[in-house]
Each structure stands twice: as C-alpha cells, then as structure tokens.
Homo-oligomer: A and B are copies of this chain.
Amino acid sequence: MSWNSFGRLFRFTTWGESHGPALGVIVDGCPPGLPLGEGDIQPYLDARKPGQSRFTTQRREADQVRILSGVFEGKTTGTPISLMIENTDQRSKDYGDIAGKYRPGHADYAYDAKYGFRDYRGGGRSSARETAARVAAGAIARKVIPHVGILGHVVEMGGDKVSGFDAAQIAANPFWCADADAAARWETKLDAARRSGSSLGAVVEVLADGVPAGWGSPVYAKLDSELGSAMMSINAVKGMEIGDGFGAARLSGEQNADPMRPGERPGDPPLFEANHAGGTAGGISTGQQIICRIALKPTSSILTPVDTITRDGQATEIQTKGRHDPCVGIRAVPVAEAMMALVLADAFLMHRAQVG
C-alpha cells in the first residue's frame, strides 16, 4: 500500500515523481500564528540541492519552493500548508536501457513485482528527489520548535571516520564534515571513486539540542521508534542508532551508565555525567542532546557492469551512466536534519496534547 504521509499530529504528505512536472508536500497540523515565508524554507532546499559541488549529481534543479496555501499575511493559519517545487531539469533522454532492465540495488525489480509496472523515468517515487519535499516540510517543523537546534554532519565516509568535531568546519567543505583533516582525506577518496564511476557509503549524525525532558512516549511512540521510522524511510539508509547504538552492545552496564547529579541551582534540570543513551530513556527525552546516526549504502548506480535481468527475465548486464551522487551521504544531511525536526515537532505537539 502506498503510504506517503508521516507524523501523528504534525503530519505531512509528499507527492511527485522525479520526472513529472513538479513535486510537493502538504503539511497539516501546524500551529497557527507562526511567521512563515518562502525565505524560511528555501535555504534548507538550497543546502540539499544537487549540483552544489563536483561531489553531488550534476542534475541542475532550481528547487524553488512556492507556498500555495496555509499562510496568510505572513503567518501560518493552522490549515494545510501546500508547498510545490517545479521540476526544471527532467532531461529528455533515452531511458531504453533502464526501461527494459532492472538496476540491482535500486527499487526497480521490487517495484515492478509490487505494482505490475514501474515509472522507469528516474525511479518515480523511489527517486531521492522525493526528499526535497521532506526538507521543505522540515523547515516548517523547525518553526514549531524554535528553541531546538538541529545539526547534521557526516561522520564517516567510505569507512574513514572523523576524529574531531568543530562545528565551524561543517559549512567549510563540500562534505558537511566537522573535521578538516577528514574532509581533506575524503576529497581525495571521493574524487577517485567519482572518476572511476564507483561510489562510497557514509554515516551521518544528527544532533538536536534544546529538547526538554518529557517528549516521546513509553511504548510504540518512543522517540527512538519515531526516529527509527523516520530515518529508515530515507533513501539508501540501511541502519540507524541512537546514542552509542551498536557500540552500546559492547559495553558493560557500568560503562554504559549515564549518572545524574543535581542541576547547579535549585529548579535547574539535572546534569548528566555522560550521554551514552543519546538523549532518550525509555523512549522519552531526558533533556540531554539527542544523538542519532544513520548508515547510507554506497550509490547503487555505478559504471562497472553488474549482472541483472530484463523485464522478460533474460540475463543481461547493466552499467549505469548518467548524473549520480558518488556518495549519497552528503546530500542526506539536510534530509536527516529535516526528519529529526519533523519527529520532534510532532513529539512536542503530542506531548502538549496529553499533558497540556
């Protein structure tokens, strides 16, 4: 079943194909009275936009967002906000090869097995172009929780991890990398991959500061669960973890403890001596920084021929030319940030509903 909506109270529904006339998103459930204009959304789209450096796909999209409803006199009205982005670079090309063959690692075969056919023009709804809509929705989510700061960065590329964190570096290189040394190494690595028509995987981390204790829920709407759903819905993501994540599985109970002590002044929230848990306990925020990481597989579109089959079931090979990201992890950063914002805005409204 097609399911293109996300969220419980702060809900959004995305639409549009990679090669259709436009794509968009309806954001429903937004509180009224928030200042909102296209200028609040565009910077996030620009951050995700293809063609920003030689390390992302050279498809050229303006990704200009237009607000079609839900805003009146510069403020949200509490009614659905419709955002639309026109596709301007649906290059008219020959899809012949892709149309008749399944690209391994892409949704092609599974999609066809499901629906009985597929939109072979760039993957239809399977295209990562859908994420532009999420990024736009995420910009609105940030308005709902203005005191929460959300920051994404790449922490590992092609197996090579960062070893430091300097927030100022993140915007200073084309990799959203907080470690200048790692960024330099990645440049070499990714250039090599790009030239040989190969690709690299990556790990992206998203941090959220300013979330008070108490958001989330103890059972099926744990923050962990909502983030699991959100992050695993991003194209090419094959894993996610919170706090120490898989690393926590290698610790003892003593090593993994997050001891507490009183806040500095009476009434202050408690201080934690560690944050192995990544900001949640029992699915509810603790007031610490929320830490989430996602693993992105290397782009499946590579120049090396790969065995595959045709729609008729005949053996063949496929070699994917064209404009692809050599490491989809880079452009996933603003997308993951958006999903974090969307989950947290929803958690905030859900919390306010029950507790007031």
Contact = CB atoms under 8 A, between A and B. Distances in A.
Given A237-B224, A277-B238, A9 B249 contact: no
24 contacts: A3-B350, A16-B69, A32-B115, A77-B124, A78-B114, A78-B354, A102-B260, A104-B260, A106-B282, A107-B218, A110-B280, A113-B212, A114-B214, A114-B355, A219-B233, A228-B240, A238-B244, A239-B241, A239-B246, A253-B304, A260-B308, A260-B309, A261-B307, A262-B309
A266 B241 CA distance: 42
Interface stretch (A19-27, A145-153, A164-172): A19-27
Interface string A214-244: 1111111110111111111101011111111
Interface string A9-34: 10101111100111110101111110
B109 A270 contact: yes
Contacts of A22: 68-69, 82
B297 A256 contact: yes
Most chain B C-beta atoms within 10 Å of own C-beta, residue among A156, A282, A352: A282
Most B CB within 10 A of own CB, among A70, A227, A233: A233
Contact of A201 (B250, B262, B278, B286): B250
A115 B33 contact: yes
Greatest chain B CB density within 10 A among A3, A307, A350 is at A3
A254 interface: yes
B69 A17 contact: yes
A199 B29 contact: no
Given A246-B246, A262-B314, A219 B1 contact: no
A304 B254 contact: yes
State the number of copies, please: 4
B119 A300 contact: no
A82 B350 CA distance: 21
A159 B260 contact: no
Nearest to A201: B249
Nearest to A324: B253
B4 A219 contact: yes
A6 to B, nearest CB: 5
Given A4-B79, A256-B297, A302-B254, A110 B214 contact: yes
B220 A79 contact: no
